[in-house]
Amino acid sequence: MNSFDNQNKLSCIICNKKYTKKSSLDKHKILCEFKTKTKREIKIDNEEQDDIPTYSQLVKIVQESTLKMIKMEDKIIELEKWVQKKKKKLNVISWLNDNINPTIGFLEWVNVQLNVKEHHFENLMENTLFSTVQKIFEDNLSSNDDIVNPICCFTQKMGIFYICEFNEDAKPLWKQLVLNDMVLILKTIQNRLLKVLTKWKLDNQYKIEDNDKISELFNKAIIKLMNMSFNQDASLGRIKNNLFNYLKIDFKPIEFDLEF
């Protein structure tokens, strides 16, 4: 029996003292470990105990950290305001006047340079009026390093166009295109298509008389042209939208907020 009891007793790993209950052993270990510690270990433990902050000290630390965070947030807000002030506000008309000098003024472009040719009328015979007008725009407003067009638009302002004339000092004066300006362009295209139509008919009379298909296409083209409306919002809007998608440029200089 004694041998069995000795086998089941718990021993301290430091001094080998035996205990029956684990709780008794745990209490002994605390004292035993302390007794066997070196002076250096005891000194380190005391120093570490001294470094543990009290509850009031912890509260003060949290308060100070919170105040620092609040001050930092205030500085960030002030910095953001400063950045916004430094970021220049740019009026698009002013920017165009200062930076874009067209080769020709808008009215001169419409009256002189807006070319409508025979192949445009032939396009009308085979396609819709909208497609033909767009083709005329593209042929007359194509990208060219030698030519700066007097009409432009930006992706940032959907459906808005800007046109340019020149003042007495030959300086560019850009402005926003209005309805009358667009109607002027479309009436000019219509009149020039009619002139091309007349010439095409004289040059191709024999084709019209001998070929029923060509005769039908010719007559339908006349109907399309004569039905060209400048007062229907849907038709005008479609023409403007097609032109906008062709001409638009993305204006995103980093240092500017564009004002339209």
Q: If you write DSSP's letter for every residue of 22-37 in order, what string do you get? A: HHHHHHHHHHHHHHHS
Residues 30, 70, single domain; the answer is: no
**pLDDT tens figures, 98-131:** 999 999 999 999 999 999 999 999 999 999 999 9
Q: Which pair of tokens denotes residue 148?
A: 């700066």
**pLDDT tens figures, 151-180:** 999 998 899 999 999 998 889 999 999 999
Q: What is each CA distance from 60 to 19, 45, 53, 95, in whole angstroms?
A: 46, 25, 10, 56
Residues 69, 99, single domain; the answer is: no
- 129-140 vs 118-126: helix axis angle to the nearest 10? 150
Residues 235, 116, single domain; the answer is: yes
Domains identified in the chain, total number: 3
**pLDDT tens figures, 179-232:** 999 999 999 999 999 999 999 999 999 988 999 999 999 999 999 998 888 776
**pLDDT tens figures, 30-60:** 677 666 665 556 656 665 666 667 777 777 7
Residues 24, 145, single domain; the answer is: no
What gap in Å lies between CA 25 and CA 153, rounded to an integer? Answer: 88
What gap in Å lies between CA 254 and CA 251, rounded to an integer? Answer: 10
Cα three-residue angle 142-144-145, rounded to 5 degrees: 160
What gap in Å lies between CA 84 and CA 77, rounded to an integer? Answer: 11
Contacts 24+ apart (CB under 8 A), 196-202: 196/116, 196/117, 196/118, 196/120, 196/121, 197/121, 197/221, 197/222, 197/225, 199/118, 200/118, 200/121, 200/122
Domain C-terminal end among 86, 111, 138 = 86
Amino acid (one-letter) located at 30? I
Residues 16, 66, single domain; the answer is: no
Residues 211, 142, single domain; the answer is: yes
Residues 67, 175, single domain; the answer is: no
Residues 28, 156, single domain; the answer is: no
Determine the length of the chain: 260
What gap in Å lies between CA 84 and CA 139, rounded to an integer? Answer: 42
Range of the domain at 217: 89-259
Q: Model-level pTM?
A: 0.64
What gap in Å lies between CA 26 and CA 168, rounded to an integer? Answer: 103
Specify the pLDDT at position 109.
96
Residues 157, 243, single domain; the answer is: yes
Spatial CA neighbour of 95 closest among 174, 209, 34: 174
Reported confidence tier of residue 132, pLDDT bands at 50, 70, 90: very high
Residues 202, 247, single domain; the answer is: yes
Beta-carbon contacts of 181 under 8 Å, excluding residues fewer than 6 positions away, are 106, 163
Residue 151 β-bridge partners: 163
